[in-house]
Chains A and B, each alone.
Chain A
Amino acid sequence: EAQVTQNPRYLITVTGKKLTVTCSQNMNHEYMSWYRQDPGLGLRQIYYSMNVEVTDKGDVPEGYKVSRKEKRNFPLILESPSPNQTSLYFCASSPVSSNQPQHFGDGTRLSIL
């Protein structure tokens, strides 16, 4: 089954403790992207990747890192999480670019205390 898988689905952690949210897709898609969703602010793009070893900033990249060492994986790294990064996070992929239908994961709900 074609899917985008995020882990963990839920995480409660404390300020400053490094964490990684993994994202994996099994569709051989070149494009992957991370979004966060907050009440009143909607969905905002954090980072995206057009291909392996190619990443670029979205609208809200501060406090996040990403890497794209393999086509299927696009982890989101919070080196020193802070409470303002408490949010619902979505990973997405598409065959080539944002200009094609994106497939989204089920989301990761992060709470930073």
Chain B
Amino acid sequence: DAKTTQPPSMDCAEGRAANLPCNHSTISGNEYVYWYRQIHSQGPQYIIHGLKNNETNEMASLIITEDRKSSTLILPHATLRDTAVYYCIVLTDSWGKFQFGAGTQVVVTP
């Protein structure tokens, strides 16, 4: 069963910030939120992950609400190369199993 809910698609203008929401209302205390993306049919690419605190790296920022029931991935200055499917994942209890959801198709337009 899906543990996250994401909008199926969203558009973003090149150069603007892209804010990708994810709902994970059933998340438990020790579960991390992970974000990956997949450009066309390439292998998925890790973006960022977090537990409670907001996180930032060279690719993106991750904002997790205080109750941890939702999060937002922020691409600060979207480029055309950021057009991809973005997956928000909350890990299952097992450290081996891994489930992608349907993701959000992000299209960055000029």
Where the two chains meet, the residues of A that have a C-beta atom closer than 8 Å to any C-beta of B are 4, 31, 33, 35, 37, 42-45, 48, 50, 56, 58-59, 88, 90, 92, 96-99, 101-107
Question: What secondary structure prevails in chain B residues at the interface with A?
Answer: loop
Query: B44 to A31, Cβ gap below 8 A?
Result: no
Task: Closest B residue to A103 by CB, please name it.
Answer: B46
Of B41, B44, B94, B101, most buried by chain A (CB within 10 Å of CB) is B44
**How many contacts A-B (CB < 8 Å)?**
63
Query: B46 to A101, Cβ gap below 8 A?
Result: yes
Query: A45 to B103, Cβ gap below 8 A?
Result: no
> For window 24-55 of chain B, which residues contact chain A by CB distance below 8 Å?
32, 34, 36, 38, 41-46, 49
Question: Does chain A have a CB within 8 A of B81?
Answer: no
Q: What interface size band does chain B fall in?
A: 20 to 34
Query: B103 to A42, Cβ gap below 8 A?
Result: yes
Complex Cα distance, B44 from A90, in Å, reads 9
Q: A residues within 8 A CB of B42?
A: 106-107
Not counting A43-B38, A48-B96, A106-B43, a sample of 5 additional A-B residue pairs whose C-beta atoms are within 8 angstroms of each other reads: A33-B96, A33-B98, A42-B101, A58-B97, A98-B95
Taking the nearest CB of chain B, how far is it from the CB of A87, in angstroms? 11
Of A43, A44, A107, most buried by chain B (CB within 10 Å of CB) is A43
Q: A residues within 8 A CB of B87?
A: 43
Task: Closest B residue to A54 by CB, please name it.
Answer: B96
Question: Does chain A have a CB within 8 A of B9?
Answer: no
Q: B residues within 8 A CB of A101?
A: 34, 46, 49
Q: B residues within 8 A CB of A102?
A: 36, 44, 46, 98
Query: A43 to B44, Cβ gap below 8 A?
Result: yes
